[in-house]
């Protein structure tokens, strides 16, 4: 029974909450009409506010107009607020180089989203059924897909819910007969014009008749199993992604390659897909072949390599990093151009610099007072974000800034001076990261410490040091 299945789906997945405002996408066909009436039957129990939205695709001339008029009339009879809109899908598909099916789907979801905002609705309910689910999974198998594709149509995604996703088309039609519901028939669904129609009208009946009469049930089980496995992998990927991520910006993501390669292949591929999605916004046009190319690059290629992806994205391997970025941000064969930044540091004091995500704790110590000195040395000697500096060898006040062209310093435990740029190159620090590395300098511009990397030899503590400056830095996201 439709009512029992749909209600079970709603309760199991917590699809609907008390006082929800729900926009129902109504095409006028049996699926969406059944959905509308079923949700109306729950109106009192959940104190629902229900709205109707219909998009006229203008693909069937007079019939499309009649569908729109039917939905409008239905909404008025039920005393429901409604929104009906037209869109020339043929023109839209040509403008954006999409198939008719892709264009209709893209514009329809945009229309539903805009309509939900118009009515201040918290949910968008669509009438996809178990038959739609089976057709979708089979379509994706034929076209080629991975685990994500085998999940089929999600019962819930963001604010979209599909209460009838486990109900068959036969159950929907029975529900319409039981309550004598009027609906419209789209006769193009009876013609093998579109790919989905061919699956529905030709392939599925053939598979059921000649190979396995339970093919639809098996496809649905495959979808459910795939969803369960995918959910587990997504949880594991989220944890792994946070561990391999070096930096995330609006235009690029930087991944630690060594850590990435330590994960099993399934997690590794998911991390790559997640990285692309963060920058691109979706995974449209990203195929298994793209992921396979990137995977090979992370393992077999050395040096700085790149792979072009659709929609202006590029993947580069640089030193021990994998970088996913928008190509327009790339400056090939040029130095990266960055804005200078600089902040004052109080001594003694406790400063937080929000822009850097760092808190600076500074204390002055007397070398003759051995007890506090030993305490700090023992507690922080292994921390790369703490240092002891000869206070008498620096000129106050101190500043924290980024690297500047021509910067030189005297690296601790090395003979002579070295350009900071060369130090970064030796450490295999990519160009685009160098600007974000903080450098501590004194009032005369002398480099004291490239924070997190190396102290300047000129300010190290020696046997004759009397006054000591202790600096401890807490970085956001670290203990």
What is the tens place of the pLDDT at every residue in 92-105?
888 888 888 888 88
| Of the candidates 399, 365, 395, the residue with the CA atom closest to the CA atom of residue 380 | 365
Residue 378, pLDDT above cutoff 60:
no
Peptide bond into 348 cis (omega under 30): yes
Whether 278 maps to a domain, the answer reads yes
Q: Please determine, for residue 292, whether its predicted confidence score (pLDDT) is greater than 70.
A: yes
CATH label of the domain that carries residue 466: 3.50.40.10
The verdict on 60 and 160 lying in the same domain is yes
Has residue 216 been placed in a domain?
A: yes
Residues 323 and 469 in one domain: no
Whether the predicted pLDDT of 351 surpasses 90: no
Residues 80 and 219 in one domain: yes
Q: What is the pLDDT of residues 185-224, one digit of tens each?
A: 877 766 666 788 888 889 999 999 999 999 989 999 999 8
So what's the pLDDT on residue 102?
A: 86
Domain-embedded: residue 242: no
DSSP string for 112-145: HHHHHHHHT-SEEE----HHHHHHHHHHHHHH--
DSSP state of 411: B
Closest to 147 measured CA to CA, from 237, 216, 214, 257: 237
Categorize the per-residue pLDDT at 380 as very low, low, confident or very high, splitting at 50, 70 and 90: low
Domain housing 355? 342-475
CATH number, position 140:
3.40.50.620
Same domain, 316 and 407: no
| Residue 217, in any domain of the structure | yes
Query: Does 293 fall in a domain?
Result: yes
Residues contacting 282, CB < 8 A, separation 6+: none
367 and 468 housed in the same domain: yes
Least confident of 29-33, 209-213, 313-317: 313-317
Residue 232 in any domain: the answer is no
154 and 253 both lie in a single domain: no
CA dihedral 207, 210, 211, 212 (to 10 degrees): 80
Q: Which of 307, 329, 351 is the last residue of a domain?
A: 329
160 shares a domain with 134? yes
Among residues 329, 354, 381, the one where a domain terminates is 329
Q: How confident is the model at residue 334 (pLDDT cuts 50, 70, 90)?
A: very low
Task: Please check whether residue 229 lies inside any domain of the structure.
Answer: no
Are 280 and 356 part of one and the same domain? no
Asked if 349 and 311 sit in the same domain, the reply is: no
Task: Give yes or no: residues 143 and 286 share one domain.
Answer: no
> Which whole number is the average pLDDT over 54-64?
89
Residue 228 lies in a domain: no
Question: b/e per residue, 248-260, with b = 16+ CB within 10 A?
Answer: eeeebbbbebeeb
The confidence band for 52, taking pLDDT boundaries of 50, 70 and 90, is very high
Which residue, 223, 239, 274, sits at the end of a domain? 223
Averaged over 265-281, what is the pLDDT? 88
| Total domains present in the chain | 3
What pLDDT score was predicted for residue 238? 87
Q: How confident is the model at residue 331 (pLDDT cuts 50, 70, 90)?
A: very low
3-state helix, strand, coil in the chain (%, to 5): 45, 20, 35
- Alpha carbon distance 294, 297 (integer Å): 5
Using a cut of 0.95, tell me whether the model's pTM lies above it: no
The CATH number of the domain holding residue 297 is 3.30.465.60
Residue 337 pLDDT: 44
What tens digit of pLDDT does each residue of 156-170 get?
988 999 999 999 999
Q: What is the mean pLDDT of the chain?
A: 86
pLDDT at position 333 is: 39
Percent of the chain whose pLDDT exceeds 90: 42
> Is 443 in the same domain as 303?
no
Q: Which residues pair with 247 in a beta bridge?
A: 254
Answer yes or no: are the C-beta atoms of 38 and 145 closer than 8 Å: no
Tokens (6 digits) for 270? 């998911």
**Number of residues that this document lists for the chain:** 479
175 shares its domain with 323: no
């Amino acid at each position: 029974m439709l009512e029992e299945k749909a209600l079970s789906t709603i309760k199991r997945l917590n699809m609907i909450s008390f006082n929800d405002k729900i926009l129902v996408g109504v095409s006028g066909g049996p699926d969406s009409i059944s959905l509308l009436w079923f949700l109306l039957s729950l109106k009192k129990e959940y104190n629902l506010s229900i709205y109707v939205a219909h998009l006229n695709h203008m693909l069937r001339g007079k019939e499309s107009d009649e569908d729109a008029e039917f939905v409008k009339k239905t909404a008025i009879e039920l005393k429901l607020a409604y929104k009906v809109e037209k869109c020339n899908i043929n023109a839209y598909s040509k403008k954006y180089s999409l198939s008719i099916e892709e264009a209709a789907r893209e514009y329809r979801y945009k229309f539903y989203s805009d309509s939900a905002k118009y009515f201040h609705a918290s949910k968008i309910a669509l009438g996809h059924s178990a038959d739609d689910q089976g057709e979708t999974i089979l379509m994706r198998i034929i076209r080629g897909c991975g685990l994500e594709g085998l999940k089929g149509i999600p019962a819930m995604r963001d604010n979209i819910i599909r209460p009838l996703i486990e109900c068959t088309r036969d159950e929907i039609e029975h529900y319409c007969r039981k309550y004598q519901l009027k609906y419209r028939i789209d006769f193009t669904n009876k013609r093998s014009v579109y790919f989905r129609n061919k699956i529905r009208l030709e392939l599925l009946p053939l598979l059921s008749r000649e190979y396995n009469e339970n093919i639809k049930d098996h496809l649905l089980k495959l979808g459910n199993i795939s969803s369960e496995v995918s959910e587990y992998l997504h949880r594991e990927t989220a944890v792994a992604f946070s561990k391999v991520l070096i930096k995330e910006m609006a235009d690029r993501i930087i991944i630690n390659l060594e850590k990435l390669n330590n994960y099993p292949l399934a997690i590794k591929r998911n991390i790559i897909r997640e990285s692309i999605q963060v920058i691109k916004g979706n995974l449209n046009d990203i195929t298994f072949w793209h992921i396979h190319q990137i995977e090979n690059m992370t393992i077999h290629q050395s040096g700085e390599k790149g792979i072009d992806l659709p929609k202006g994205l590029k993947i580069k391997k640089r030193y021990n990093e994998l970088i996913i970025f928008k190509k327009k941000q790339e400056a090939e064969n040029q130095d990266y151009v960055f804005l200078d930044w600089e902040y004052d540091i109080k001594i003694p004091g406790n400063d937080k610099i929000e822009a850097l995500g760092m808190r600076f704790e500074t204390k002055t110590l007397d070398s003759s007072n051995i007890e506090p000195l030993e305490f700090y040395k023992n507690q922080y000697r292994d921390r790369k974000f703490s240092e002891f500096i000869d206070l008498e060898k620096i000129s106050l006040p101190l500043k924290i800034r980024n690297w500047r062209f021509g910067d030189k310093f005297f690296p601790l435990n090395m003979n002579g001076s070295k350009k900071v740029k060369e130090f970064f190159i030796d450490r295999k620090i990519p160009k685009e990261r160098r600007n974000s590395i903080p450098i501590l300098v004194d009032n005369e511009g002398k480099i004291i410490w490239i924070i997190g990397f190396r102290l300047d030899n000129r300010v190290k503590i020696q046997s004759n040091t009397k006054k000591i400056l202790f600096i401890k830095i807490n970085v956001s996201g670290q203990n």
